[in-house]
Amino acid sequence: MGSVRAYAITAAAVAGERERVGGKLDAMDLSRVVALDTLELPSPGPSDVRIRVLAVSAEHNIAHAALADTVNIAELRGGKIYPGNSALGEVVTVGSAVTRFKPGDVVVTHCNGEPDAYGYPMRIWAYDQPESVGWYSEEAVVGEWQLLHAPLDCGLSLWEMAALPLRAPTAYHLWRRAMGILRVKVSREQRAEVNVLGFGGGVSELFLMLARHEGHRAFFCSGSAERREALEKLGITGIDQKKFNRFADRDGMKAFGAEVKQLTGGIGMHIVCDMLRGPVFAAGMAVAAREGVNVSAGWQLAKQVQYDSAGASVKQLTIDHSHYETLRGCAAATELYGRVFKPTIHREVYAFEDLPRAIQEMQLNVQTGIPIIRVARELPASVRGIAG
C-alpha cells in the first residue's frame, strides 16, 4: 500500500540518550528518542479499515517507552515500536466485511489489546501487544473492532475530542470501580454525597467530571493554575499543589492534611484518584476518609508501591489497581463526550513535526492541559467547523 510517515521508538535511541545523560532518567530529552520514521502499511483485510489520522494526543505511556523506566518495551518488542494509543481519524477505505463504517466517517480509536475472559485487556495496543502498530502516523490500517464513531455533535472542538479516546475510557473505568468498591462498604443511604479527590492530570480531570456530574463534591489538586481554573468553572474545587511543596517534606504533607480537613469538615476524601506511587500517593492515603478507596491506572514514576498495610486495614482503606476498559465501556465513555467530559487542552496545538517536542514538554510538566498534535494538514469538510 506504500509507506507513510510515522513516529518510532527504538531500543538503540533509548540506549543512546541514556548514555548521553549518564543514566539520569530525569535528564533525558524524549524528543531525541521519539523519532520520525516511515512505516509500510499492510493491505487491509476484509474486516479492516484504513484511516487518515487527523489528530492524536500525547500519552504518558509513550514517555515510559522512551525512558524505559518501567520496562524497556522497545527492546522487548524486538528493538522498535511504533507508538500512539489514542487517535481521531477519517475513514478512507473499508474491507468487504466491514459493516459499521464507510469512507468519510470520522472515528476515534481505543487501545484495547488482547482481552481476558471478561473483556478486560491484558495488553495495550501499540505498547505491549505483540505486532501492534500505533497511530502517531499519517495513516493506519486497523481492525473494525478498534474504532468508534466520533460524536461530532457533542459540543466539543475537534482538538478536545482528540484528547479523549484513551483518557475517557480510563477515567470511566476508574470511576465505576471506585464507586462500586465504596458502595460495598458504605451504602448510599449511609452517605449519599461523597468527597472525591484527583491529582494532576487529564484522567483525574475526567474522573472528577464524572464525580461532579453524579452529584458529589470534587476536588482537583494540581500545580497548574490554568487547569484548576478550567475545572472550577465546572464546580470542581481547586487545590494548589505548589502550596505544599508537592508533598516533598513533612511540613507540606501536614499543611495539605489540614487544608483537606478544612474543606471536608474533618471527614477527608472518600475516593482518591492518583498514580498509587510517588509523593501524591502518600498524600492521598494521608487524607483518605475511613472506608475510603484509592484508585489508579498509572505507572508514571515506578512499578513498585509501598504503604502501611496495617494502617490501611485499620482505616478500612481499599487500594485498587486497574488498567483499561472493556470494548463496551469504551463505547459508553464515548457517549459522555461534551455532556460530562470537557477536557482542558494545552493552549498550543502542535504540528505533526513537533510531536517529539510535545512529548518532552509533557514530561517536563509545563503544559497548560492535555497536549494535542494535529497530524493532517487538510481536514475533511465534516470537521472544519469544529476545528477552532
How far apart are alpha carbons 222 and 205 in whole angstroms?
A: 10
Flag whether pLDDT at 107 surpasses 70.
yes
* Helix, strand or coil, per DSSP, at residue 23: coil
**Which CATH code is given to the segment(s) 169-321?**
3.90.180.10
Query: pLDDT band at 126, cuts 50/70/90?
Result: confident
pLDDT attached to residue 337: 98
Contact 38, 5 (CB under 8 A): yes
pLDDT attached to residue 34: 97
Give the torsion through C-alpha atoms of 11, 17, 19, 24, to 10 deg. -110
How far apart are alpha carbons 94 and 243 in whole angstroms?
A: 53
Parse the chain into domains and list their residue ranges: 3-163+343-384, 169-321
Flag whether pLDDT at 119 surpasses 70.
yes
Grid cell of 74 as nine digits: 522497545
Contact 121, 114 (CB under 8 A): yes
Other C-beta atoms closer than 10 Å to the C-beta of 236 total: 20
pLDDT tens by residue, 214-237: 999 999 998 889 999 999 999 999
Instruction: Give the least confident one: 17-26, 264-273, 318-327.
Output: 318-327
Give the torsion through C-alpha atoms of 305, 260, 174, 61, to 10 deg. -50
**Fold topology of 3-163+343-384:** Quinone Oxidoreductase; Chain A, domain 1 (3.90.180)
Grid cell of 299 as nine digits: 505507572
How far apart are alpha carbons 74 and 81 in whole angstroms?
A: 6
How far apart are alpha carbons 383 and 54 in whole angstroms?
A: 10
How far apart are alpha carbons 78 and 84 in whole angstroms?
A: 17
Tell me which H or E stretch contains 225. helix 225-232
User: What single string gives the DSSP state of each residue in 365-377?
Assistant: T--SSEEEEE--S
